[in-house]
Amino acid sequence: MKSVLVREVIGETLREQRFAQGRTLREVSMAARVSLGYLSEVERGQKEASSELLSSICQALEVPLSVILGIVSQKLAAAERARVKVAA
């Protein structure tokens, strides 16, 4: 089973939040003051965002960083539980 990368889960979570708000990549990238291409790469898990960039994206999404990290933590825990079940 493929291991889960934190950057992929963070990107997926950010994308889900953006979609839930009905906002475009361009809108969020402008509000976060990050290039559209870089934000896209972060959302796709191809780039690992710094803590400063994550904070900026969360502010643009109006979602506390702690909420995003909590969701990411829950997803990682679920993936780890699933991996343990498969290995057993």
Tokens describing residue 77: 């825990």
User: Which DSSP letter does residue 4 get?
Assistant: P
* Spans of all domains in the chain: 6-87
Q: Model's pTM, two decimal places?
A: 0.91
The number of residues in the chain equals 88
* Among 42, 37, 35, 57, residue whose Cα is nearest residue 12: 42
What pLDDT, on the 0 to 100 scale, is given for residue 35?
Answer: 97
* Digit-coded pLDDT (tens) for 20-37: 999 999 999 999 999 999
Q: How far apart are CA 85 and CA 21, in angstroms?
A: 35
- Rounded distance, CA 77 to CA 72, Å? 9
* Per-residue model confidence (pLDDT) at position 83: 80
Report the pLDDT value the prediction gives residue 78, as an integer from 0 to 100. Answer: 93
Residues 32-79: tens digit of each pLDDT: 999 999 999 999 999 999 999 999 999 999 999 999 999 999 999 999
Q: Quote the pLDDT of residue 85.
A: 75
- Given the candidates 3.30.590.20, 3.40.50.1220, 3.40.50.12280, 1.10.260.40, the CATH classification of the domain at 6-87 is 1.10.260.40
